[in-house]
Amino acid sequence: MTMSSSLNAGVAGLSSNATRLAAISDNIANSSTFGYRRVETDFQSLVVSANGGNYSAGGVRSTTQRLVDEGGSLVTTSNANDLAVRGRGMLPVASESDVAADNGKPQMMLTTTGSFRTDADGFLRTDSGLVLLGWPANPDGTIPQYPRDTSDGLEPVQINVSQLTGEPTTKIDLGINLPATETIAGGNGRDQQLSVEYFDNLGKSENILIDFDPTVPATGASNEWTMTLKDSAQGGAVIGEYTLTFDDVRASGGTLKDVTTLSGGAYDPASGNLIVNVQGGPMEINIGALGTSNGLTQLSDGFAPLAISKDGSPVGNMTSAKVDDRGFVHASFDTGATRTIYQVPLVDLPNPNGLVAMDQQTYLPSTDSGSFFLWNAGDGPTGDVVAFAREESATDVASELTEMIQTQRAYSSNAKVIQTVDQMLQETTNIKR
């Protein structure tokens, strides 16, 4: 019985070391595979002998585990859509065949890195057929509230480079100096006119016509102007009229002292904003808060549009898209405008090592990994997304070769045990001769 158990223990040793060699072989074979996570083999002894009596060898049992939580280092690349996760978290992807089948929601798989490029349909995919998933943004670039404990809402990230888009103008900041000499007695009282372009809801160019009419007093200085706003989209209709009074004291001379609304939206003295209605909807115009010099001023004798800025853009073609460190996909247009079109979340689980390993360095959640949660990159326990980067294999070739030598010696030793038991059994057989 004891010799038989020795033989079985030797066989178990051969099998366990063969398993370890297979794991080492897999690790070395994937030493240049981006995103590969190495497999580790552990041995556990088996004790089957009872207390007292003859000893019976139990042998050994091997178990393997893929160490998903041990990643490789990041290396830079030249592709803007080469993505890697720096820190905790994984990118959601789906197989190209699953997306092409269009049978509803594609199955979410997880990966830590990928070289994504647009295919013929505009999907961001890898050469191995993995399509990046993300939440689509609203037309204004905001991300709706999606559930975070399910993959519902995730869609394949699709970049339509032939897409046309335009952003309507919703805010204009006016930085203009009005000549103080026009509001003194005996002044010319000349109107100062300005046309500010804006883009309507269809991307067409329109203008707000601004007329500054000075009040000329009989004596002294009025420091007062009437500002009239007209909308070209409405045939030059007046959309706002305001009386502007400027201060002339030493501490705050030339800044707005008071604004009286004659028509149009009310002026907010704290923010300096007033809202008028152009044809496409409300338009916020900032003329500066009272007592500040960052909007309308009245100094010296020159009319000077110093700083006029606005949001919105004309219609343009999408030229490229890239993912930032927070996972937002930004589309760039030939007009210089950018817009958020997707957000790629990072998926985190309590036990990454419990994930089910699939082909192409992808993983599936399981009961062992725990329930997943979709985080904004950089929030909670997750790291950030790095563009122009790939994650190298987690394999350390030197360590694997060292373990291979150990495994070879252990395998040879177990083979020697079997050979020795065979010789002892042969000697036992020879006793009868």
Q: Which amino acid is at 124?
A: L
Q: What is the pLDDT of residues 4-48, one digit of tens each?
A: 778 888 888 888 999 999 999 999 999 999 999 999 999 888 887
pLDDT band at 162 (very low <50, low <70, confident <90, very high): low
- Alpha-carbon distances, residue 95 vs 29, 131, 170 (angstroms): 24, 6, 41
Q: Which amino acid is at 411?
A: Y
Q: What is the pLDDT of residues 353-388, one digit of tens each?
A: 999 999 999 999 999 999 999 999 999 899 999 999
Pair (294, 213) in one structural domain: yes
Q: What is the pLDDT of residues 90-126, one digit of tens each?
A: 999 999 988 888 777 889 999 999 999 998 888 999 9
For residue 215, pLDDT over 60 is answered with yes
For residue 1, pLDDT over 60 is answered with no
Which pLDDT score is estimated for 139? 81
Pair (160, 61) in one structural domain: no
Question: ∠ CA(374), CA(378), CA(381), 5° rounding?
Answer: 65
Among 67, 74, 93, 81, CA closest to 347: 93
Pair (221, 243) in one structural domain: yes
Question: ∠ CA(367), CA(370), CA(374), 5° rounding?
Answer: 130
Residue at which a domain ends, from 286, 311, 336: 311
Pair (204, 258) in one structural domain: yes
For residue 328, pLDDT over 60 is answered with yes
Higher pLDDT, 252 or 51: 252
Residue at which a domain ends, from 311, 346, 381: 311
Pair (247, 325) in one structural domain: no
pTM over 0.85: no
Which pLDDT score is estimated for 9? 84
For residue 430, pLDDT over 90 is answered with no
Strand, coil or helix: 31? coil
Among 12, 13, 8, 40, CA closest to 26: 40
Pair (246, 372) in one structural domain: no
Token representation of residue 127: 């050469």
Which distant-in-sequence residues (6+ apart) come within 8 Å of 325 by Cβ?
A: 377, 378, 384, 385, 386, 387
Give me the number of domains the chain comprises. 3
Pair (146, 15) in one structural domain: no
Which pLDDT score is estimated for 429? 81
Q: Report the pLDDT averaged over residues 126-155.
A: 92
Task: Report the C-alpha gap between 91 and 132 in whole angstroms.
Answer: 8
Structural domain that includes position 103: 74-165+316-391
Q: What is the pLDDT of residues 380-397, one digit of tens each?
A: 899 999 999 999 999 999
